A = this chain, B = another copy of it.
Amino acid sequence: MDCNKIITIARQFGSGGREIGEKLSERLGIKYYDKELISIAAKESGVNPEVFENIDERATNSLLYSLSMGLYSFGNNFPSMNEMPINDKLYLLQHKIIKQVADEGPCVIVGRCADYVLKDRKDVVNIFIYADLDFRIKRAVEIKDVKPSKAEQVVLKTDKTRANYYNFYSGKKWGLPENYDLCINRSALSADKAVDVIECYLKSIR
């Protein structure tokens, strides 16, 4: 189908939101952004991509503090990036890049508060992919090479980190339906079937 939307995908760790996002972008013939956002941010800032990878989707507690203390000057240019904590630097870079890629046309963007960053656009569809805890633990072990004995802890902790990141930068609460147009528990669905459901939703709103 022809798609004229920007589709953001928030996802629980181990739910397969990334795979679903990739397949969706293939099905719709539109671009896909996930880790790609880091590469672009690294290129634009000259920071080593590995540095960004380690802090991707992790909040500091410092941005609001720094803002409230007037440490950043927001003007036409980016705020004094050199003094900024690296997490906030990456957030602001990704914020800018998400807006840029959305301006370029329909695409799928995974994670990174994209629903919040693009909240003023009318052509955005926000999707939340989640799954039962057992499903996510199993998938973390099989797909993400997490040790079985650590899997539950990793799943829960990664989601907590993602939630903190989202809640901190958006001021909203990650994983609440009100932030999304469609929330799919994909425990009972293959990635392709989950894409079917999303495609059906996209057809329904045309």
A contacts, CB < 8 Å to B:
128, 130, 132, 175-178, 180-185, 188-189, 193-194, 196-197, 200-201, 203-205
Q: Inside 8 A of A181's CB, which chain B residues have their CB?
A: 185, 188
List 6 contacting pairs A-B, 8 Å CB cutoff, sorted by A.
Answer: A128-B177, A128-B183, A130-B177, A132-B178, A177-B183, A196-B200
How far, in angstroms, from A204 to B189 measured CA to CA in the complex?
Answer: 7
How far, in angstroms, from A193 to B205 measured CA to CA in the complex?
Answer: 8
Chain B nearest CB, measured from A186 CB (Å): 9
Copies of this chain held together in the complex: 2
A184 and B185 contact, Cβ closer than 8 Å, known pairs A175-B177, A177-B175, A197-B201: no
Interface residue SS majority, chain A: mixed
Chain B nearest CB, measured from A133 CB (Å): 9
Whether B205 lies near A188 (C-beta < 8 A) is yes
Whether B189 lies near A197 (C-beta < 8 A) is no
Closest to A189 in B: B204
**With A178-B185, A200-B201 already in contact, 4 other A-B pairs whose C-beta atoms are closer than 8 Å:** A175-B177, A182-B197, A189-B205, A193-B204
Chain B nearest CB, measured from A16 CB (Å): 14
Closest to A175 in B: B177
Whether B180 lies near A185 (C-beta < 8 A) is yes
Q: Inside 8 A of A182's CB, which chain B residues have their CB?
A: 182-185, 197
Closest to A180 in B: B185
Closest to A129 in B: B177
Q: Inside 8 A of A205's CB, which chain B residues have their CB?
A: 188-189, 193
Closest to A187 in B: B181
